[in-house]
Amino acid sequence: MAIVEDGGMRIGLALGGGGLTGTAFHAGVLNALADHIDPRQADVIVGTSAGSTAAALMRSGFPATDYVARIAGRPMSAEGRAVLGGMPPLSDPGSAAPGQRRPASPQLVRSVLRRPWRFAPGVALSAFLPAGTRPVDAGAARFSMLFDQWPVQPTWIVAVALDTGERVVFGREASATVADAVSASCAVPGYFAPVEIAGRQYIDGGAHSMVSLDLLAGEGLDLVIVSAPLSTTDWVAGDPGNLPRVALRAQLQREARRLRGTRIITVAPDARMRRIMGTNSMVAAKRAPVADAALEYARSVFRRAL
């Protein structure tokens, strides 16, 4: 962990969306990163959707070296057990339940139809989706056991306001409890119900950007570690299932250009990781194998890059 302990370097983490397998991917990446840098001490952490749960866990003081064990349901260190206390084990949110057919936000639909160019593609699509019926709070609310106030170190949790489609960054310009912010950031449109905070409804921050790396521009960071479970390292001809990942990689590259002068190390799934993760990011049974594989994979990335 010499990079952090030596001081002088400002380090940021950008942890992207990716569902249950994305959370497992983050576990492997952060567990591997702890061989070199203590993720808990990052100067700024940006978390979106699945990445918001990882961001909150790091800011709680939970050791990254226990993260894969936590995901896989294996024994953790005394420190890890002490931080989590009575926090319940991970659960399976189940499949999406059918709900209403009408769009969750008619106001946003009207705005998108009038000026579609003003909205990120994910926000425009989300406008037409019905509200999910499964409450996200049951999973994310566990963070209320770990925080009685917002972390002192900069921690930015990204969500999207359902009425306007704008990106909202909790911990930077908007206020909420950590549990509520994480719940909002994880409210996948059409799957989970929108989350209400102070009278306003929010959905998954990944609708705007799966990583929101651009938020770290101008923060004077020397190094940014990006964990992007839904991106990809390569383009494979004849693999249409990889197209969304390629699009997300292009978006990530555009955002990275905003951080001129900052070294960026991106960990995204290669072909082997993609096979292990599969195409459905909400399969709870894949968490353990994905976390184990991501740990091995990320260690190889960091050995070369750090």
- Quick one: pLDDT band at residue 98, thresholds 50, 70, 90? low
- Quick one: pLDDT band at residue 200, thresholds 50, 70, 90? very high
248 domain-assigned? no
Strand pairing of 11-15 and 44-48? parallel
What pLDDT, in 10s, does the model give residues 221-263?
A: 999 999 999 999 987 666 666 788 988 999 999 999 999 999 9
249 domain-assigned? no
What pLDDT, in 10s, does the model give residues 275-297?
A: 999 999 999 999 999 999 999 99
Q: From CA 116, how far away is CA 128, in angstroms rounded?
A: 12
* Residues contacting 272, CB < 8 A, separation 6+: 293, 297
184 domain-assigned? yes
Return the pLDDT at 243.
Answer: 82
If one compares 239 and 15, the residue with the highest pLDDT of the two is 15
106 domain-assigned? no
- Quick one: pLDDT band at residue 83, thresholds 50, 70, 90? very high
Mean pLDDT, residues 118-125 taken together: 93
143 domain-assigned? yes
Total domains in the fold of the chain? 1
103 domain-assigned? no
107 domain-assigned? no
Task: List the domain range (segments joined by +) for residue 87.
Answer: 2-97+128-242+258-305
